Structures are given as C-alpha cells and as structure tokens.
Amino acid sequence: MSSDHVRWSRTKIIATVGPACREPEQLAELIRAGADVFRLNMAHGGPEAQQESVDTIRRVSAELTLPVAILVDLAGPKFRLGDVAEDRVFCPRGDLFYFVAGEPQAPNEFTTSYEPLLRELTIGDTVMLADGTVSMRVEGKQRDRVELRVLNQGIIRSRQGINLPGVKLSAPAISVEDHQHALWAGKAGVDFVSLSFVRSPDEVRTLRDIVRSTGSKAGIVAKIEKQEALQRLPEIVREADGVMVARGDLGVEIDVARMPMEQKRVIRTCQEFHKPVIIATQMLDSMHESPRPTRAEATDVANAILDGADACMLSGETAIGKYPREAVDMMNRIAMATEETMRGRPLRKLAEADDGLHMITRGVVRGAGTIAQIVGAKLVVVASHSGRTALALSQQRSFIPTIGVSTHDSTLRKMCLYWGVTPLRGAPATNLEQLIRHMDVWAAGAGLTKPGDSIVIVGGSHLTAGPDDEEMAAGVHDIVVVHEVEAASD
C-alpha cells in the first residue's frame, strides 16, 4: 500500500458501478482516485451480471493491494407506471387522469406495477410521478379505477417511478426478488447489503436474517427514504449497521424544503448510536456531463462532511457519467479541503450506545484518542477482530491517521466505510512485538514516521497472550501501547 492511500480524504467515497466504469482498468482508476466502496445497484442488473463485477473488483483490489468494500443495493418495492401512450404524456394542471385495472383505453389512463394500489389509495392521497415533478391528488374511487387530478403539471413517461408520500401500503419491504438477490449477495461474500424504503427496524432484522442464513456477516445498511423511516429513526438506526440518506426518493416522499434539516437529524442520530452514515444522490450530479461540478454541489459535499457524514456517494456520476474518474477525484479534493478546516476540533465524545462494545473497550478507545493527542502520535493502530473498535475510534474524529489491522479480510473491507480508518492488509494482528516491528517498517517506508515519533497501538490481551487467546473473539480491547519509533538497524 502506498502512502498516498493514507493521505486520501478521511471521508469515505462510494462509487456506483455501471457501464462507464465496469472494466478492470476503469475500476482501478477509481480506486487510485480515492474510491473506498463500490456500489452494485440491483435495480440495473441481476446476480449473473453483478457477480462479474464482484469478481472484477476483488481481482483489481488484490492487484493494487488495496482493500475495497462492495455494497449491494437492493431495489426494494419500487412502484412504476406501465407503458403510457406514445411513451410520454403531458399532464396539464387541473386535468383528470386515471389508474385503471385493465388495459388503458385512452391517453389519460395509466396502469401500475403494484396491483393492490387501486385498492389501497384513498381520497385525498397524493401521487407523485416523474421524480416528484408531477403531482396529483386522488379525487374519486371505483372498483377498477382511481380518479386523479393534476396539481403540478408536467410530462410523464413509460415505466417511471411512483411515489406515494404518507400512503400506507401492504407491500413487503423485501420482495421475492430482493430476497433472492440478498441470498446471492451473502453467498458472493459482499461486505454490505442495503435495504431500500425501510419503514421499521423489523425489516432490517429480516434482511439480516436472510443474509446471515448464507453464513455471511455483511453489514446491513438502512436507506432512509420514507416518512415512516423518519418517524422511527432511532429504532432503525439502532438496528442497522449503517445508514444511507437516500435523498432522491426521500426528497419526493417529504417536502423538499425539509430535506436539509432531516439530513442533519439523521447524521446526528447515527452519531448517537455510533453508526456510519452515507449521504447519497445528486452530490455531484452535473458531472454526468461536465468535468467540473457546480459551486452548489461542491458546497453540498462540504456541508455533509462538516455535519459529520462518514461517506459520500456517487451514483450516476460514476455509473453512466462521462467523467467517472474525475467525479471521484473531485469528491476526494472537496473532502480533503473541507477536512483541513476541521483540524483542531476537540475529539468527539463517545455517547453510551448499544453498539456491541465491551465497557472496557469503550474506556480504552476514549483513552487512546486522548493519549494520542497528548503525546503527538503520528499514527494510531488498532488490531480488531470484528472492526467495532476501529469504528469506535473513527467516531472520535481524530485527525491522527488511524490504521486498522486484522487477520480477517472481511473486517478490513468493512473498515473501508469507517471515517478516517485506513485498513492495512498483511500486518500481523495477533502479536504485539511483530505488529510494532511491522508498523515501524511500513510507516517509515510510507514517509509517515521518523525515529523518535510515537505510534499508539490499541489492542486486546491477544496481542500479548498469543493468537489462540479468546479475548479477541470476544471483542475486548484492554491495551494501549505508546511506542517510540526507533532508528532502523543496519
């Protein structure tokens, strides 16, 4: 691993894989530019196509000797229009349109992919089409048709998404197809699986059970994109391993004027529960077509980082855009410039949370961050079995580079989502003396330390008791070592 990897932004970057970046060299370019996680969108390709991407990402990661995580994004219960007349219809304000059960007989009649919709809509409900640009209100119902009046006019096209803000639906959060895709993701060994349109913590638990049934320990990411999710936010965050603010559908499901403050609230809640939070959708949207973002987009990324986002996500910018490498590089540059202004902030205090940390480990993590600041350490190294301790260190938001080491590649890849943590493959994670010697050589070679500098190492009794010690498996970290780098012997 080159020292450049440690000098990338502390905020992690998620890049969506698509036609614009699917080839090995294209993926390698994105990793070199700063991509930490690759997202595979199951709405645009089934397991067979996505398995090829998984294999390519793993191969490129191994060739570059840089751990990279894979996030599989399940499509969720997305409702869509059927085919409309001539593939597009203009809906004037005040006109009437209809959802119908059978085949449309007129240009103002639509069908939907969600068969129970006609039964579950009620008079007064709002229907949003074309990414929220066209809105209609339910004004009448019959057994086989629903009458809609246009409130905001615009053009709708075949198979566009339907949003139903505030409408209670019977559709399960995990469709039959999602269930199959989740099983594939677990068997494929991906690192994170995200659930769309989450409404309750039970849905997060259900997805975890499905993924765990394959033997996978992939983290479950809850996508916040419905009003119901905002109403049960603390419960959902507590249950999930990570959270994504999916601003595309959320900005349609709620008043877009509320979006900025709801985004901040989600970030604060994730901080309270020590869960990584991802901000997604339209972050550098103009870079679909332009090599440079707008000023507003750059400011959007910076403000998300200042608010405490662990990761920012690129969607179409990398999947289908003209400038995928430039988009990753730009996000990295914005993040680094923003983070420079955050230096000198006091360490964030770790709130008490049900995050699986042993109370001793929690105390050690708090102490390690403070000790590293007092002694002016150049590096903090954490040896972690599951990655939870590395995540806790990440939540302190220390600007001292944090290196995560583990005997498990899956743990190293999970660290790719943790703010400020650089996973290091190949370091001995079960013996203190060997780890110290390895880090001395590696850090000096990377230009990060010189003789006399301090390195703080956080670990458990396994570092001194040997690789068979049970402390590591139990997740107990009870050792903080301050090591002074020695001059290399001839």
List, by residue number, the catalytic residues. 39, 80, 223, 281
Count Cβ atoms below 10 Å from residue 400 Cβ, excluding itself: 18
Count Cβ atoms below 10 Å from residue 156 Cβ, excluding itself: 19
Half-sphere CA count of 150, side-chain side, radius 13 A:
19
Tokens of 402: 């944090």
For 81, 101, 280, 283, 328, the CA distances from 416, given in Å and listed in that order, are 38, 47, 17, 20, 15
Q: Estimate to the nearest angstrom the gap between the alpha carbon of 241 and the chain centroid.
A: 10
Structural Rg of the chain based on CA atoms: 24
Instruction: Give CA–CA dist 67/72, Å, rounded.
Output: 17
Instruction: Give CA–CA dist 436/481, Å, rounded.
Output: 10
Instruction: Give CA–CA dist 219/241, Å, rounded.
Output: 5
Q: Evaluate whether 434 touches 358 at the Cβ level (below 8 Å).
A: no
Tokens 């020695």 appear where? 486
Helices (DSSP H) in 86-242: which residue ranges? Answer: 117-120, 176-188, 201-212, 227-231, 233-239
At residue 95's C-alpha, the angle toward residues 94 and 96, to 5°, is: 125
For 83, 409, 440, 475, the CA distances from 87, given in Å and listed in that order, are 6, 48, 64, 57
Q: Evaluate whether 146 touches 124 at the Cβ level (below 8 Å).
A: no
Instruction: Give CA–CA dist 50/22, Å, rounded.
Output: 10
Instruction: Give CA–CA dist 244/223, Å, rounded.
Output: 5
Q: Which of these, 353, 392, 400, 355, lies nearest to 375 by C-alpha position? A: 400
Instruction: Give CA–CA dist 133/189, Å, rounded.
Output: 39
Instruction: Give CA–CA dist 471/391, Å, rounded.
Output: 18
Cβ density class 63-94: b for 16+ within 10 Å, e for less: ebebbbbbbbbbebbbbebeebeeeebebeee
Instruction: Give CA–CA dist 350/273, Å, rounded.
Output: 9
